[in-house]
Amino acid sequence: MRGKLYRLRIHNLVVVLCLLAALASPVAAQHFYFAQVTDIHFGTDENAARATKVVDSINKLVMKPECVVITGDMMSDNILDGRTLTAGLDILKQLKPPVHYLAGNHDVVEGDKFAATREAFTKYFGPLASKAEYDGVVFLMIYTEPLKHTFQVQGFDPLKWLEQALKEAGDKPVIIFTHRPDVDDFWGNVIHPGWPNKTREKWEGLIKAHNVKAVITGHYHRDELHWIGNVPQFVCSSVASYFGRQASYRVYEYDEGKISYWTVYFE
């Protein structure tokens, strides 16, 4: 009888100690905010004024984003224009949160200007692909124009870079940022082809095979939602005035693997 009571007491003690240990070391919740700005197209006074309003608004946000990701087309094929580039950088440098840049098709320009614009982009904005981590969530920022237009970039393969980056992320949740969505583009009541099928299949295969929570893009100057398997692909509208768009940016909330957002508009 004493033996049974002794074992029962030991069992109860172990249970209590386990509960105390769990209370003393809670698992940190993954909950934070970040902002996205896209398609500023510096080169006109109007777009510069819009960007200034966006920067001021982000700096005053009550939820204090961990970072700002600018998903391409800061410029309008004019990154080699020193005056326009400097003026744009002066505005963006006013952002208080950390800023991550990725190149769009109007930043690194395909064709004869490719080498020069690539050099300028990497000098003033950063590499063609980069990564960061916030609260255990891996952010991957990647230039993907070669995947759409199937041209080669010496020393850089977007698919290989993504594959390696996802491998290094392991089981951690991942958010991928790129300028252009991989889906078909619907405008003017016409469906315009997206990425080539083989390239798109490889890209989406990598995303489906890893713990990717979202793909976040710009380029279309519209608000859209698409899916890659069970992974949402968010398309954000622009800062620039092209196509009669109202200036906007987004604030995202990451909460335990789920992502939601608010769109902030300006008159």
- Token pair belonging to 111: 């064709």
Distance CA 250, CA 267 (A): 15
CA–CA dist 70, 223 (Å, integer): 16
> Could you tell me which residues are beta bridge partners of residue 216?
177, 234
Query: Is 163 a domain residue?
Result: yes
Q: What number is the average pLDDT over the span 254-259? A: 97
Q: Is the pLDDT of residue 22 over 60?
A: no
Strands across the sheet containing 224-228? 129-134, 137-142, 174-177, 212-217, 231-235, 224-228
Predicted pLDDT at 24? 43
Is the pTM higher than 0.85? The answer reads yes
Q: What was the pLDDT predicted at 33?
A: 98
C-alpha closest to that of 43 among 72, 94, 73, 78: 78
Residue 109 lies in a domain: yes
For the cut 70, the answer to whether the pLDDT of residue 9 exceeds it is: no
Beta carbons within 10 angstroms of residue 121's beta carbon: 24
Query: Would you say residue 10 has pLDDT above 50?
Result: no
The C-alpha atoms of residue 168 and residue 138 are separated, in whole angstroms, by: 10
Would you say residue 6 has pLDDT above 50? Answer: no
Q: What is the pLDDT of residues 82-121, one digit of tens each?
A: 999 999 999 999 999 999 999 999 999 999 999 999 999 9
The string of DSSP codes covering the chain is -HHHHHHHHHHHHHHHHHHHHHHHSPPPP-EEEEEEE----BSSHHHHHHHHHHHHHHHT-TT--S-EEE-S-SBSS-TT-HHHHHHHHHHHTT--S-EEE---TTTS-SSTTHHHHHHHHHHHT--SEEEEEETTEEEEEE--HHHHH---BTTB-HHHHHHHHHHHHTTS-EEEE-SS-SS-EEETTEEE--S-HHHHHHHHHHHHTTTEEEEEE-SSSS-EEEEETTEEEEE---SS-GGGPPPEEEEEEEETTEEEEEEEE--
Q: Is the pLDDT of residue 245 over 70?
A: yes
Phi-psi region of 229 (alpha: psi -120 to 50; beta: other; left: phi over 0): left
- With CA atoms as reference, report the closest residue to 88 among 51, 119, 123: 51
| 255 in any annotated domain | yes
CATH of the domain at 79: 3.60.21.10
Residue 19 lies in a domain: no
Distance of CA 223 to the CA centre of its chain: 15
Model confidence at 267, in pLDDT bands (50, 70, 90)?
A: confident
Rounded to whole angstroms, the Cα distance separating 147 from 158 reads 7
Q: What percent of the chain has pLDDT over 90?
A: 87
Beta bridge partners of 237: none
Whether the per-residue pLDDT at 50 is higher than 60: the answer is yes
Q: Is the pLDDT of residue 67 over 80?
A: yes
Q: Is residue 2 part of a domain?
A: no
CA–CA distance, 38 with 237 (Å, rounded to integer): 7
On whether residue 14 sits in a domain, the answer given is no
Instruction: Encode 255-266: b = buried (16+ Cβ within 10 Å), e = exposed.
Output: eeeebebeebee
Looking at the domain assignment, is residue 89 inside a domain? Answer: yes
Domain count within the chain: 1
| Residue 231, in any domain of the structure | yes
pLDDT in tens, 152-174: 999 999 999 999 999 999 999 99
Domain carrying residue 135: 30-265
